[in-house]
Amino acid sequence: MTEAYVKSHIEHGINTIEFFHPQSNSLPGKILEELAKEIHFAGTHDDTKVIILKSAGDKTFCSGASFDELMEIKTESEGLKFFSGFAGVINAMRKCPKFIIGRIQGKCVGGGVGIASAVDYAIATDKAELKLSELAIGIGPFVVGPAVERKIGTAAFSALAIDATMWRNADWAKRKGMFAEVHENIENMDESIQRLSNTLSRSSANAMAEMKKIFWKGTEHWDELLKERAAISGRLILSDFTKRAIEKFKAKA
């Protein structure tokens, strides 16, 4: 596979949304926009009872923001627009009345940690390590921070955000509450996802929608909050420190 994509497939009430990017499932603006649209559509689609959010491949769930696009940002307004893409996806997940099961088969970096935090039930393999790398390139996990903090608490979020070069393993993520389940291989993970999604597809849509409102109570202001956070990242991304740091990261890749 060489072409990035977002695609969805509905079967027996289960809507599977899959994304892919050849650079370790990184997220350029176009993919972010398409993801938000697919999640929103699935939330309004009567045939969808439950959503599975997954990425292609078996090593990396999502490596976060596209470094190529970050390097192209020249103004604060361009920065705001790019980081608002992450806000759009998280808010679409937050407002979607259907439960979203996250299939976390591999590493999550930066914005990928935010997406893993915003699913309603994450099922992972023991290869699904986490790293909030933003500080290492001179910005911070401002947009995804509220989703991560909501899921694992302020202390664990702070630890991830401050030690920006340190990987945390799947066991750590499960103990902190980010992953509901961790399996030793992809086959066992997929079996569990299939079991749960089949059960939920036969459950009451109204009851699940009301439960989701309760689970996300207190986040009603996130449309404004995440846009404000996107503006902070959009400003910091213009620094010389950040440009040099991204060049170093790209050189290692």
For 116-134, the pLDDT digits (tens) are 999 999 999 999 999 999 9
The C-alpha atoms of residue 82 and residue 76 are separated, in whole angstroms, by 10
Burial class (CB within 10 angstroms; exposed 0-12, middle 13-18, buried 19+) of 44: exposed
Instruction: Spell out the domain ranges in the chain.
Output: 5-186
CATH class of 5-186: alpha beta
Q: pTM of this prediction?
A: 0.96
Is 119:53 a contact under the CB 8 Å cutoff?
Answer: yes
Q: Which two tokens stand for residue 1?
A: 């596979």
The C-alpha atoms of residue 238 and residue 208 are separated, in whole angstroms, by 42
Enumerate residue ranges in the chain where pLDDT < 70. 1, 253
The C-alpha atoms of residue 38 and residue 35 are separated, in whole angstroms, by 5
The C-alpha atoms of residue 240 and residue 123 are separated, in whole angstroms, by 39
- Amino acid 112: pLDDT: 98
Is 183:123 a contact under the CB 8 Å cutoff?
Answer: yes
- Amino acid 253: pLDDT: 62
- Amino acid 251: pLDDT: 77
Q: What is each CA distance from 158 to 135, 145, 147, in whole angstroms?
A: 12, 9, 13
CA dihedral 81→114→126→59, nearest 10 degrees, is 0
Report pLDDT digits (tens) over 206-253.
Answer: 999 999 999 999 999 999 999 999 999 999 999 999 999 998 887 776
Burial class (CB within 10 angstroms; exposed 0-12, middle 13-18, buried 19+) of 71: middle
Residue type, 71: M
- Amino acid 1: pLDDT: 64
Spatial CB neighbours of 171, under 8 Å, sequence gap ≥ 6: 126, 182
